[in-house]
Amino acid sequence: MQDPVNDVVILGSGPAGLTAAIYTARANLKPTLIEGAQSGGQLMITTDVENYPGFPNGIEGPPLILEMKKQAERFGTTFIAGDATEVDLSARPFTIVVDGEKTLRTKSLIIASGARAKLLGLESESRLMGRGVSACATCDGFFFRGKEVFVVGGGDTAVEEATFLTRFANTVTLIHRRNTLRASKIMQDRAFRNPKMKFLWETAVVDILEGEFGKIGGLLLKNLKNDQTFVAPADGIFIAIGHEPNTSLFQGNLTLDERGYIITKPSTTQTSIVGVFAAGDVQDPTYRQAVTAAGTGCMAAIDAERFLEAESHIVIPTAGIVMPVDRFLP
Ligand code: NDP
């Protein structure tokens, strides 16, 4: 026998998904949350979080997620450890397959599957993540006051992160594999004028070297013009070679932008399919903060609740006459 149809299924367990769970649970919608491959999302690889309101002394990413999870559990969220591996959004109820095994059916879906920073793919990079290696200057820049910091990349993200880091670091060296940046002209000009900024052109990061106390100690770099390698002492390296949203499951189902982010109707979390909502980094190439993710998670929960409420008032007077759901949407 099939399981009953859920009112709400949430994909993702970062701040967006967990906030959506708290709100939908408190609205008695008994949400089921599929945690995803990286339970807790990007905050699980962040050390101190000092910009999330309510924590004057800061809090580390993992305990912050744990507190949100406890809050969602308290109001009756069901958590499923695993990843959504298939979705069918072509008809309602929508179906979601978890880890190729369990199938859930749901009247509404909140996608909060997040985004991930593109990484270089070095073993040392994941080993030293949070110990000098970071992919988020806004999150971690503060800890590099007076330090020697490097940023990899040549786009707007890299130049923006590098410029931000000059507020704290002694020197910020941008490492780029080409001899020109692809960042916008205005941001380039600002970076070139900044006395704390240095540039290593046509250079690649070969390895990130471990120093004392299990933290980063330096970088093994390669000059791509002459293939010579050299070591640069470093207190930190920020990988800023772009982000990618976790939307491979939705390609061909939902309208995505050219970079793969889910497009939502302005000022709402409504996607291109009625009853499917998106929150957090999966639909946000711009802000990408824990607090903005939580904010849109709240919006998605309210949008889903209103959608279900409107749908419950659909009357089917006689067999064969179905009222279009779209009529009841805001
Ligand atoms: P981009 O794709 O624009 O740039 C990525 C950069 O990383 C490129 O310079 C690329 O090099 C380099 N890179 C990619 N892979 C590697 C690798 N494996 N090793 C070394 N270097 C690598 O991504 P961004 O995140 O910078 O920007 C994405 C979009 O967001 C852009 O449209 C940008 O304009 C926008 N944006 C706007 C901002 C703003 O306006 N304030 C801020 C941030 C982003 P190469 O040049 O050789 O390809």
Give the domain ranges of the chain: 6-116+243-328, 119-239
The whole-number pLDDT of residue 315 equals 56
Rounded Cα gap, residues 33 and 3, in angstroms: 15
Residue 202 Cβ < 6 Å to ligand 1: no
The whole-number pLDDT of residue 296 equals 98
Residue 221 Cβ < 6 Å to ligand 1: no
Of 59, 65, 71, 75, the residue nearest 35 (C-alpha): 65
The whole-number pLDDT of residue 44 equals 82
136 among known catalytic residues: yes
Instruction: Pinpoint the alpha helices (H) of the chain.
Output: 15-26, 61-74, 123-127, 137-140, 156-165, 185-193, 290-312
- For residue 156, the one-letter residue type is D
Strands 228-233 and 236-239: unpaired
Residues of the chain predicted below pLDDT 70: 1, 45-47, 314-330
Residue keyed to tokens 């959004």 = 89
* Segment 67-110, tens digit of pLDDT: 999 999 999 999 999 999 999 999 999 999 999 999 999 999 99
Give nearest CA residue, ligand 1 atom 37: 156
Q: Is 71 left (phi over 0), alpha (psi -120 to 50) or beta?
A: alpha
Q: What is the 112 CA–ligand 1 centroid distance (Å)?
A: 23
Pocket test residue of 151, 177, 201, 202 for ligand 1, highest count of atoms within 8 A of CB = 177
The whole-number pLDDT of residue 139 equals 83
Q: What is the 327 CA–ligand 1 centroid distance (Å)?
A: 41
Rounded Cα gap, residues 202 and 176, in angstroms: 6
Domain 6-116+243-328 in CATH 3.50.50.60: yes
CA 231 centroid distance within chain: 32
> Are 6-116+243-328 and 119-239 equal in CATH topology?
yes
Q: For domain 119-239, which CATH number applies: 3.50.50.60, 3.40.50.150, 3.65.10.10, 3.40.50.720?
A: 3.50.50.60
Give nearest CA residue, ligand 1 atom 29: 156
Whether the CA torsion 65, 93, 299, 244 is positive or negative: it is positive
Residue 203 Cβ < 6 Å to ligand 1: no
Rounded Cα gap, residues 256 and 110, in angstroms: 15
Please count the CA atoms within 13 angstroms of the CA of 36 that sit on its side-chain side.
Answer: 25
Q: Please work out, in degrees rounded to the nearest 5, the angle formed at the alpha carbon of residue 18 by the alpha carbons of 15 and 24.
A: 135
In our burial notation (b when 16+ CB lie closer than 10 A, e otherwise), range 136-160 reads bbebbbeebeebbbbbbbbbbbbbb
The pTM is what? 0.76
| Alpha carbon separation from 1 to 4, 77, 103 (Å, rounded) | 9, 23, 12
Q: What is the 126 CA–ligand 1 centroid distance (Å)?
A: 20
Q: Out of 139, 235, 281, 303, pick the active-site residue.
A: 139
Residue 190 Cβ < 6 Å to ligand 1: no
139 among known catalytic residues: yes
What string of DSSP letters covers 96-110? EEETTTEEEEEEEEE
End-to-end CA distance of the chain: 36
Residue 125 Cβ < 6 Å to ligand 1: no
Sorted by sequence, the CB contacts under 8 Å of residue 160 that are 6+ apart come out as 137, 183, 187
Residue 177 Cβ < 6 Å to ligand 1: yes
298 among known catalytic residues: no
The whole-number pLDDT of residue 143 equals 93
